[in-house]
Amino acid sequence: MELFFQIDTWIALLTLTFLEIILGIDNIIFISISANKLPKNQQKKATLIGLSLAMITRILLLFSVSYLIALKEPFWSINTSWLNAGFTGQSLILFLGGLFLLYKSTKEIHHKMEQTSINDNASIPKKNSTFTNIIIQIILIDIVFSFDSILTAVGMTNGIDGALQIMVIAVLISMLIMMVFANTVSKFVNDNPTIQMLALSFLILIGFMLIAEGAHLSHLEIFKKSVGVIPKGYLYFAIAFSLGVEVLNMKIRKTRKS
């Protein structure tokens, strides 16, 4: 319980919950597209089952990734005149996760800028779609969309006491919110594209932080210069400040429309 008397815990929990919801929007959209292939009386049931599976998938991945990150013994070392490092399971997961988030975020920003949209034909019901087939599709979608969510959670909470508990709670809260307000949350984010862009920008920051932290944990030295770690307080402040500015912008836009 002492964990929840620390301000860092609440900041990490609130920020991570927000990011988990934003990252889950695409998951909701694809689940809705799959569910729309079913008769209307089965669509709501398929959506709830899909989001429940997404929650279970993310929690299972959290435990597996957390186990890999606990591997702190070097399994591969590099010793040259200009480069020295000892890579561990923890540093490798963080480094590869950071690269993945950079790739994913940049790609999504590019798609947003190009205004790509999902083909309307994807939402047209198909006669040969069965409930079981749709659930299988949803499971596969959940697995794919869980990776960036889990890596974001690891990047936000790595090094914080009770990190696993914070991650699990954030995933549970975000998924329950999406289950209750799936249509509302999706509409809000789609009506406010700047929120999407802000979240993707946060992922780029987290990606850089993961790479730097992975390099630090592997004791990477380039030309005898060690790679330092980025204090998470700086990241939290940047995210909180940006969100505050965006809230003010949203209020101004709303006032002008009225």
Could you tell me how many residues make up the chain? 258
The tally of domains found in the chain comes to: 1
Where in the sequence is the domain holding 253, given as residue range(s)? 2-257
In this predicted model, what pLDDT tens digit does every residue of 133-186 receive, in sequence order?
877 777 776 665 666 667 667 777 766 777 778 888 888 888 888 778 776 766
Residue 44's pLDDT band (cuts 50, 70, 90): confident
Rounded Cα distance between 256 and 137, Å, is: 43
Could you tell me which residues come within 8 angstroms of residue 137 by beta carbon, excluding any fewer than 6 positions away?
34
pLDDT 10s digits, 203-232: 788 788 878 888 887 888 888 888 877 777
Q: Is pLDDT above 70 for 3?
A: no
User: Which of these, 100, 58, 91, lies nearest to 204 by C-alpha position?
Assistant: 100
Q: How many CA atoms lie within 13 A of 84 on its CB side?
A: 8
* Residue 20: closest CA among 181, 150, 112: 150
Radius of gyration of the chain from its Cα atoms, rounded to whole angstroms = 20
pLDDT at 127: 47
